[in-house]
Amino acid sequence: MIIFPAIDIREGKCVRLLKGNFDNVTKYKKSPIDQANEFCNLGFNNIHLVDLDAALEKKYSNENIIKEISKIKKIQIQIGGGVRSLDRIKKLLDLGVDKVILGTAAIEKIEFLKTACDKFKNRIALALDARKGYIALSGWKKQTNILASDFIKKVNDINISRIIYTDIDRDGTKSGPNLEETINLSNLINTPIVISGGVSSIADVVNIKKNKLANFEGMIIGKAIYDGNIDIKKLSEMI
């Protein structure tokens, strides 16, 4: 099972948000590049990267950071944040990332998701971000009445490389992941699924790893690493 340490970039800094709230931002001392190198040196092979400036303001001011992280040997990056066109996907792939995460644009227009998956085979991931089961869009600021469980059934025949399910109410809270809902969603689709939001301890990691579902691919961990709730060295031993 893949463990994805998370790096969220905002104005060139490494940050974490609470429940996706841009008004509740914690900034960290290490630069995104230094943080990525630390993860690499500890043996992590995958990083979950989010460009918050692109997601919120459609500003692509972090290109050099993304490119430099992509150059780190043995690291594969999945990146999301404001990706709304095929040109943007190609740009990110050209920078060296492994997979591009689509969210709002894919959910608002399934045909765009299908086209992207056909054009960039095995390079497109889908983000399903939900509050109380209902999908939120546009940096989690736009709440819909679309159940993630309903939407996921619509994309079962699309060649998505992986689905990332985030429980927004748990994201950044270190309150434990919504494992039950993630398992429920994984039973509705054959696509590999990754759990995100609330992972707070080594015990959470162990509990997630116990689930041997064929398409349960991994977990994303952010704030608990940065705040020291999870010992990063112990976590690296579980890769």
Catalytic residues: 8, 129
Q: Are strands 46-51 and 99-102 parallel, antiparallel or unpaired?
A: unpaired
Q: Are strands 193-196 and 162-167 parallel, antiparallel or unpaired?
A: parallel
- Residue 195 tokens read as 């759990």
List the end-to-end C-alpha distance of the chain, in Å, as a whole number: 7
Alpha helices per DSSP H over 80-137: 86-95, 104-108, 110-119
Burial class (CB in 10 A: 0-12, 13-18, 19+), 190: exposed
Report the interhelical angle of 110-119 vs 86-95 (nearest 10°): 40
Q: Are strands 193-196 and 46-51 parallel, antiparallel or unpaired?
A: unpaired
Report the interhelical angle of 32-41 vs 63-70 (nearest 10°): 10
- Residue 218 tokens read as 């991994």
Q: Residue 235 — φ and ψ, nearest 5°?
A: -65, -40
- Give, as one character, the DSSP assignment of residue 169: G
Q: Give the Cα-Cα-Cα angle 161, 72, 2 (nearest 5 degrees).
A: 40
Region of 233 (left: φ > 0; alpha: ψ -120 to 50; beta: rest) is: alpha
